[in-house]
Structure formats: C-alpha cells, structure tokens
C-alpha cells in the first residue's frame, strides 16, 4: 500500500473500503455522537407549509438532514412511512438516501424495515435496500431463522441489525417467553452471536424502555455488536440508565435513535432549526453520560 | 332489508358487505378451489419476450391472472419481488392489484409482506396494504406481540395472517424452541386464537413441509382459522399429506399457495397457457384429496 501512497500518480485513486461498522465508528468519532435521527415523515405531522410541496417527504428529510448531519452517527429512515404513500413515497425515500450518499457520505444510513421471509424472498429485500437504495444497514426479524437470512448475512460490508428486545408495550408477549429457563430475546441474542455472525456484520435492536434488559444483553454479547436503541423520548426510555446499561467497555456500541421528538419539535417554518437544537440536546445529553462532553 | 329487495328503486343499490373470509369462501365455492397463485415476478425468470415491456411485472401478472382467475381462491402478490425494482416495481404492484379489483373483484388478494413493527409504524404499513393497494388480507410477523398489531387487527374486514410455522429450511431455529414444554409456533397459534382474534379476522401461515405439524396446529385451532400454506411444490411439501393434515371439518380452511411452479412452468410465449394447465393440475389434485373432484 505504501508504494501507492508515496506515488503521486496513484495517491488520488486511493479509496478506503469501509464496512458498516467502520463507517459508523468513524461518524461516532467525527461528530462525537451516538445519536441517530430517525426519518419518519408523516403527512399528519409535517409542517403545514410543506403540504403543497411536490416532494414533501424528500424536502422535509433534506432539511432535517442538512440541519443535523454534523450531530449524528447515523440516519434511520423508516420504510413504513414512505410506503404509506406508495410508489411516490418510495421514490422520495430513494431521493432521500441519494441525498445523504451524495452530500454526507460519511454518515451511515440504516433502513429500518424489519423484513423477514424465506431465503429466495429475502434476496429480493436485499436488492431493495442495498442495490436500489444503497443503504449501509437494515433491521430484520429473527423468526425465520439464520438460514433464511443468508442473502443478508452474505453482504459482509452491510450491517444486519436483528430484532432482539423491542421497546413497545406488549413486546414481552413472545420475547419474554421462557425457553429452557431463559427469555426468548436472550436466546435470539445468543443465536445471533454464535451462529448468525460469522461475517461479523450482525448487530441487535434492543429497546430503551427496560434498561436492566439492555444490561443483560450487553453482558451476554460483550463488546462486539452495536445495539440500535429505539424508545428514548416518545416511548419513555430513560437516557442515563440506557447509557449505563448498554455502552460497551469502550464507551460506544450504541446507536440511540430519536425520531418524533426531533422531527416534530416544531411544526412551523423553523422546524429544521428547532430539530437541530433537539438533536444537539440529545447528543450532548448522551455524551454527558458517556463522560465525553 | 326485504323492503329494499322488493322496491325496484333500491334494488340496484344493494351491496353485499363481505369481509376477507366471506370473500375467500365465496371464491372457494365459485371456483371449487383451494389453490392460490403466488405472484412473484422476477426479471431473472420472466419470459424473454417480456423483458423489453414497459411494465414487465404488470404485463406478466395480468396474463397470469387472466389465465387462472377461474381456478383459484386467491391471488398472493409477494411484495419483495416488486420492491426489488423500487418505485416502478411498487407502481406495477398497484397496477396489478387494481387489475384484480376491477376485473376479478370476487377473488381476494393476499399481500404477502410479512411486516411487523411497533403500533405507530404498523399503522403506516396498513395504509400501504389496505388504503393504497386495496388488498383483502396481509401476512404479518408475531414477534412484536398483539398490542403492536392493533392497527391491523382493528381492520375487521381484512384478513390478518400471522406467521406461525414456516416452510423454509432452518425455520425450526426459533419456531421449535420449547416454551414450557411446547414448541414456540404452537404458543404463537394459541396466542393468536385466544388473544389476537377478537375481531375474528386472524389466520395463520403454516408451511406444508411437515404435515404432522400442520395437523398439530389444526387440532389446536379447530375449524375457525384459515391456514395459508406455502411450500407445496418448489419447497417439496407433499400435497396429499398436507390436505389430510390441514383441512378443517368442512373440507376447507386451507389456502394452498404455489408460485414458481405455476408462474415459470414455461419460459416461452405460451407461459400463461402453460401456467393455466399447472394451476388446473394443482386445483384438481387438491380436490382429489378433498374428495370434491
């Protein structure tokens, strides 16, 4: 490599090949942030002046992205919100991802779409996420089992974030069932650690609403995987407890997502500016508990 | 009601309000069929002469629909295959659903999209399926628990088909874990029966690859729910054993899906005609074991 580094003919052609985790860690460092902004555009909540926009979800997302890209470690568009408007929504989701890739290529995109099917079908879901949209990571279900997710797991450079313990009310219905005396979500975590993660590209969704459970999963997993943590803010998760429970021994390993509380902090024309303040507040509060402010 | 029936001014304005199950049962009767054609359009497998078509998935689907609509009890488009082509794929999925709704309004559409998220997000997935596409039923995940699926379960007229036991290799990884001595998929079936199904609109996905398990679920559930059965054909499920194991006491209660073996029975210009023969063969073989040929 050094021969190329020292040769001016080649130096401009050098690229760094980063996988999702490299890109995430670099963004964590650059922006000193574990905060993630979730892009959940919703016509019922969008600032009124955007409702006549030709591409309201893209215009809204672009303003939020521009206002927060130096404060986050990732953006997380939620596919459902775009799908609700059908083909035009999907087109705007693509525009939004393209905008991030072109203007903030250092910030990873996590497509939150929680897909899960048999392997042949999953190979089509990977085309949507990785080839069409070009995102860096996705969320997936565990229920179909590892073999079904081979088309995802084979994408070594992409992050595959498996649902483990969710933050919604009633998530315990199956997730806390006891399998040989251990809760199902812990069995999911163990399986992902021991069997799914051969390409070192697996991570977990672990909600913020019960910090003791986050601690339990972190203890089980060790430092290796990153936990995508929904549920701070609107769903009532406690930030300090979340950080203390979920950080790995290097003071990272968490992606703390906030959507509604940032996106809709103001419903007026100043929405992006107010969203920036909310994102800044979240980042700094996280860092206070990380001891890095 | 009879006063309207007898009054010629009103008679033309009478409509029958059917929910998913009514519509399914009527199609089962009209077409004497438990067969479902799965619409999984795939550019790698489409007849060559369609590859230059402006809307290849719609054109392909339309021909398959026209060729089989008098032989099936349902059509099952698989969202993943359309999503793989992004916004244009979604547009063609909508065209396909519209075509069925306009021309074969007696045949229910099951959108196979296996979604699952928290309740607010699920409400957007219902918009995609029921409001944008106008389908009659959807497949969903169990992992998030009943409360998360309220936006689905509240749609009384729609069928909510919950993944129970899947047909893919490796599906046993979590689905056969023992919870208090009983397999997880049986616990899922019990929960759906006892807690999810208050609007009587829940059904189950139970694969054809292990007929003994299908029998176990049928015994547990009784006659009430319909089982959507993938895995006959390409995945190797045995049709006779599937029917004997899964039929309810009325000789119905199953939707036997076949996708690849019908869609791609011929890769030539005669694809629709050959697909019809394959669908006819499936319908008649099913009826042989139903004792209704």
CA distance A275 to chain B (A): 21
| CATH domain A17-290 topology | TIM Barrel (3.20.20)
Contact of A144 with A117, CB cutoff 8 Å: yes
pLDDT of residue A182: 95
pLDDT of residue A234: 59
User: In sequence order, which residues have a C-beta less than 8 Å from that of residue A261 and are 6 or more positions away?
Assistant: A233, A234, A278, A282
CB pairs under 8 A between A and B: 178
| Nearest CA among A148, A149, A178, A166 for reference residue B177 | A178
Interface contact B143-A175, CB threshold 8 A: yes
Distance CA B102, CA A221 (A): 53
Q: What are phi and psi of B239, to 5 degrees?
A: -70, -45
Interface of B with A in 152-191 (CB under 8 A): 163, 166-175, 177-180, 184, 187-188, 191
- Ranges in chain B, pLDDT < 70: 1, 233-237, 292-293
Contact of B204 with B213, CB cutoff 8 Å: no
Distance CA B180, CA B187 (A): 10
**3-class DSSP state for residue A118?**
coil
Domain B20-290 has CATH 3.40.47.10: no
Q: How does the average pLDDT of chain B come out, rounded?
A: 94
Interface of A with B in 132-151 (CB under 8 A): 132-133, 141-148
Interface contact B171-A144, CB threshold 8 A: yes
Instruction: Give pLDDT tens digits along chain A (293 positions).
Output: 677 777 878 877 777 789 999 999 999 999 999 999 999 999 999 999 999 999 999 999 999 999 999 999 999 999 999 999 999 999 999 999 999 999 999 999 999 999 999 999 999 999 999 999 999 999 999 999 999 999 999 999 999 999 999 989 999 999 999 998 999 999 999 999 999 999 999 999 999 888 999 999 999 999 999 999 998 865 666 899 999 999 999 999 999 999 999 999 999 999 999 999 999 999 999 999 987 54
Interface contact A170-B147, CB threshold 8 A: yes
The answer to whether residue B114 is catalytic is yes
pLDDT of residue A293: 43
Distance CA B256, CA B71 (A): 12
pLDDT of residue A1: 63
pLDDT of residue B1: 63
Q: Give the C-alpha distances (Å, rounded to integers) separating A60 from A80, A233, A246, A287, B121.
A: 16, 21, 31, 27, 18
Contact of A35 with A282, CB cutoff 8 Å: yes
Interface contact A114-B167, CB threshold 8 A: no
Q: How many CA atoms lie within 13 A of B30 on its CB side?
A: 17
Interface contact B125-A175, CB threshold 8 A: no
| Nearest CA among A262, A263, A266, A206 for reference residue A237 | A206
CA distance A11 to chain B (A): 37
Catalytic residue, chosen from A94, A114, A183, A244, is: A114
Q: Give the C-alpha distances (Å, rounded to integers) separating A263 from A61, A63, A92.
A: 9, 10, 17
pLDDT of residue B276: 98
Q: Give the C-alpha distances (Å, rounded to integers) separating B121 from A107, A204, B268.
A: 24, 19, 42
User: In sequence order, which residues have a C-beta less than 8 Å from that of residue A63 and are 6 or more positions away?
Assistant: A271, A272
Q: What are phi and psi of A276, to 5 degrees?
A: -60, -45
- Structural domain boundaries in chain B: 20-290
SS3 labels along A71-117: CCCEEEEEHHHHHCCHHHHHHHHHHHHHHHHHHCCCCCEEEEEEECC
What digits encode the pLDDT tens for the residues B234-263? 566 689 999 999 999 999 999 999 999 999
Cβ count within 10 A of residue A14? 9
pLDDT of residue B236: 61
Distance CA A22, CA A256 (A): 17
Q: DSSP string spanning A151-197? A: HHHT-TTSEEEEEEE--STTTHHHHT-EETTEEHHHHHHHHIIIIIG
């Amino acid at each position: 490599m050094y021969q190329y580094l020292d040769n001016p003919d080649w130096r401009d052609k050098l690229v760094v090949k980063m996988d999702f985790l490299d890109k995430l860690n670099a963004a964590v460092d650059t922006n000193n942030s574990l905060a993630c902004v979730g892009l959940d555009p919703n016509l019922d909540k969008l600032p009124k002046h955007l409702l006549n926009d030709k591409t309201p979800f893209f215009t809204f997302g672009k303003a939020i992205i521009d206002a927060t890209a130096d404060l986050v470690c990732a953006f997380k568009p939620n596919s459902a919100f775009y799908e609700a408007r059908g083909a035009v929504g999907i087109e705007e989701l693509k525009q939004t991802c393209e905008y991030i890739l072109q203007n903030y290529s250092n910030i990873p995109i996590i497509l939150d779409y929680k897909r899960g099917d048999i392997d042949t079908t999953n190979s089509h879901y990977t085309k949507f996420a990785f080839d069409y949209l070009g995102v860096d990571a996705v969320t997936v279900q565990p229920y179909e089992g590892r073999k079904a997710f081979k088309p995802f797991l084979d994408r070594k450079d992409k992050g595959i974030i498996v649902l483990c313990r969710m933050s919604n009310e009633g998530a315990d219905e199956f997730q806390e069932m006891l399998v040989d005396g251990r809760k199902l979500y812990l069995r999911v975590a163990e399986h992902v650690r021991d069997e799914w993660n051969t390409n070192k590209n697996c991570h977990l969704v672990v909600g913020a609403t019960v910090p003791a459970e986050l601690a339990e999963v972190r203890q089980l997993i060790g430092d290796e995987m990153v936990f995508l943590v929904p549920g701070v803010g609107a769903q009532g998760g406690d930030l300090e407890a979340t950080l203390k429970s979920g950080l790995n021994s290097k003071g990272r390993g968490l992606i703390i997502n906030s959507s509604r509380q940032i996106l809709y902090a103001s419903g007026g024309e100043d929405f992006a500016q107010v969203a920036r303040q909310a994102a800044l507040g979240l980042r700094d509060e996280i860092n206070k508990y990380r001891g890095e402010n």
